[in-house]
Every structure is written in C-alpha cells, then in structure tokens.
Amino acid sequence: MSSEEIEVALNYLKNNVIRDQKKIEELLPLTSEVVRVSRIHKRTKSKKLIRYQIVIISGNSEAGVFGLGIGKNEEYRLAVKEGISRSKKTLKIVKRGCGNRECFCKTKDHSIPEIKKAKIGSTVVELIPGALKLGLRTSPVGKKFLNLAGVKDLMVVTRGNKNNKLNILKAIHEAI
Ligand SMILES: [Zn+2]
C-alpha cells in the first residue's frame, strides 16, 4: 500500500464511528487468523452438543490496525465466520512510536510512544516500549497479535491471572 492509501483508510476509520464493513475492506486489505479454538461440551436431555468458541485476530500490519473477535457456534465454519466479522468490527488504530529512552532509532515507529496498561477481569497487562531489535517479548499468540498491529519491539508484562489467554489478548488490544 502507498502511504496515501494508508492515510485514506485510517482517516475513514477515524472519522466513522459507524463503519461500513465493505468500505473498510475496499480501503484496507485485512488479514485474519484463528488463534484459539475451544470446544464447549453441552449436555441436553436428548443429546450431547459441542459448541465451538473461536478467537480471531484481524488487521493490517502496514497500517497498524488490528481487531479481536470471538465467534460461537455449533458449526466450526460458522463460528469462524462470526469471529472474523466481529474482529473486523473492533478494528483499532495503533499509535506507534518509540518510548524507549535508551533507543537511538530515527524512525520512531517500531514500538509504542509510552508505557500502556489495561485490566480485563483479573488479568493486568503492561506494554513496555522496547529498543530497536528487541523483538516482541510475549507468548506466541501475543506475537501474532502484535505483528498484525505493526508493532515490532515491545515487552508484554502480565500480572494477576496469567492463564486467561483471551483476557491477555483483550487487554493488549485495549491498552495499545
Ligand atoms: Zn526506538
């Protein structure tokens, strides 16, 4: 994408609280990925049911736009479809920068401008700007998510409930 195309897409996202999904995808190619699949077993009187809960991330790393969605359905395919659609409705523009005082980069766009924090449930996440070439210091799923966000050097510190992987992703999305 050219920088003009990115600017047009970002302006559309900034200026429209109610967004037209088709329009967004015309302006901005989005990548989506399944990052987590849970099977929830449900027993009714007559039969056992399996319900899928799928976590999807979507975004465009060049533009620095990312979203997170959950799809639930008895059919895997439909749960994925719902998750993709929801993740695209939560697209957030990442403010990139470099808030690492020891970093001597010139571009100032490889990380985030300052330390950010968010709490979801009992999970607390802190995002700390990393120096150039530090990479992403987080779980493999966290890395995928931050890659989509277009952030390259960042340390994610998790406190409280560290086992709730979904809340960690939600907190990263909220904090950034
Ligand atoms: Zn830097």
Helix (H), strand (E) counts: the chain: 5, 8
Distance from the CA of 107 to the center of ligand 1, in angstroms?
Answer: 7
**Cross-strand pairs, 59:** 31, 66
Tell me which residues have their CB within 5 A of the ion that is ligand 1: 98, 103, 105, 132
Mean pLDDT score, 155-159: 97
Distance from the CA of 102 to the center of ligand 1, in angstroms?
Answer: 8
CATH fold for the domain made of 3-93:
Double Stranded RNA Binding Domain (3.30.160)
Domain boundaries, the chain: 3-93, 116-175
Distance from the CA of 9 to the center of ligand 1, in angstroms?
Answer: 25
Distance from the CA of 154 to the center of ligand 1, in angstroms?
Answer: 10
Distance from the CA of 3 to the center of ligand 1, in angstroms?
Answer: 21
Q: What is the mean pLDDT of the chain?
A: 95
The half-sphere exposure of 118 on its side-chain side, counting CA atoms within 13 A, is 13
Q: Is the pLDDT of residue 72 over 90?
A: yes
pLDDT given for residue 107 in this prediction: 86
Is the Cβ–Cβ distance between 166 and 70 less than 8 Å?
A: yes
Q: Is the pLDDT of residue 45 over 90?
A: no
Question: How would residue 17 be classed by pLDDT, with cut points 50, 70 and 90?
Answer: confident
CA–CA distance, 23 with 13 (Å, rounded to integer): 10
Domain covering 116-175 assigned CATH 3.30.2270.10 in the classification: no
Report the percent of the chain where pLDDT is more than 70: 100
Mean pLDDT score, 84-104: 95
Mean pLDDT score, 116-133: 97
Q: One-letter amino acid identity for 18? A: I
Report the percent of the chain where pLDDT is more than 90: 88
CA 107 to chain CA mean position, Å: 23
Distance from the CA of 125 to the center of ligand 1, in angstroms?
Answer: 21
111-137 burial by CB neighbour count: b if 16+ within 10 A, else e? bbeeebebebeebbbbbbbbbbebebe
Q: Is the pLDDT of residue 78 over 90?
A: yes
Predicted TM-score of the model (pTM) = 0.93
Question: How would residue 66 be classed by pLDDT, with cut points 50, 70 and 90?
Answer: very high
Distance from the CA of 124 to the center of ligand 1, in angstroms?
Answer: 25
DSSP state of 130: P
Distance from the CA of 153 to the center of ligand 1, in angstroms?
Answer: 8
Mean pLDDT score, 154-166: 95
